[in-house]
Amino acid sequence: MTKQAKDLNALFYETLKDIYFAEKQILRALPKMAKAAQTDDLRHAFEEHRDQTQGHVDRLDQIFEMIDKPARGKTCDAILGIIEEGKEVIEDFSDTEALDPGLLAAAQSVEHYEISRYGTLKTWAAELGLKDAVPLLEATLQEEKKTDELLSRIATRSVNRHAA
């Protein structure tokens, strides 16, 4: 990419590809996390969020169409690292009372990453005059925040207490 082409539009597109890759990776990781979860509440939260994540990908596809760019991801080392941490929790804490709190913490790391990305993309979309993209990004941002709040409730209501 030339220096001249490096503007906010290009940054928006690159970040959109980043979160697209992340969402696709999350779609693959959530069933594994649900299978590993020991409590029904956490398992259900992961299964529900997997369905919701497919909706996030669908919204991103719409935004790629709006900006007339191909819907494709670019490798996001941050999400790969966070997902790898989740895999390590499953390996290291399988069949222990600490598994669910570890899975929950890994899931919240993912949520916080997504909240950051979607908040940024929404702001940039507004700056760039992509008025049809803003509500799509806002809807996903709100869903990510609600998922984070749900995970916090599950942690404080049962999972962390049970492991302590």
- Which domain CATH number covers 87? 1.20.1260.10
Q: Look at residue 1 and tell me whether its pLDDT is greater than 60.
A: no
Which single residue is written with the structure tokens 């299964």? 47
9 vs 101: CA distance, rounded Å: 39
Domain count, the chain: 1
Domain assignment of residue 125, given as a range: 8-163
Cα 128 to chain center, whole Å? 23
Confidence of residue 36 (pLDDT cuts 50, 70, 90): very high
Confidence of residue 157 (pLDDT cuts 50, 70, 90): confident
pLDDT score, position 95: 86
Among 66, 52, 79, which Cα is nearest to 139's?
52
Residue 156 within a domain: yes
Q: Supply angle C-alpha 97, 99, 101, rounded to 5.
A: 90
Mean pLDDT of 137-154: 96
144 vs 118: CA distance, rounded Å: 9
123 vs 79: CA distance, rounded Å: 21
Confidence of residue 161 (pLDDT cuts 50, 70, 90): low
Residue 3 within a domain: no
Residue 1 within a domain: no
Average of per-residue pLDDT values in the chain: 92
Mean pLDDT of 27-41: 94
Terminal alpha carbon distance of the chain:
52
Mean pLDDT of 74-97: 94
Mean pLDDT of 15-39: 96
pLDDT score, position 6: 82
15 vs 91: CA distance, rounded Å: 31
Q: Look at residue 12 and tell me whether its pLDDT is greater than 70.
A: yes
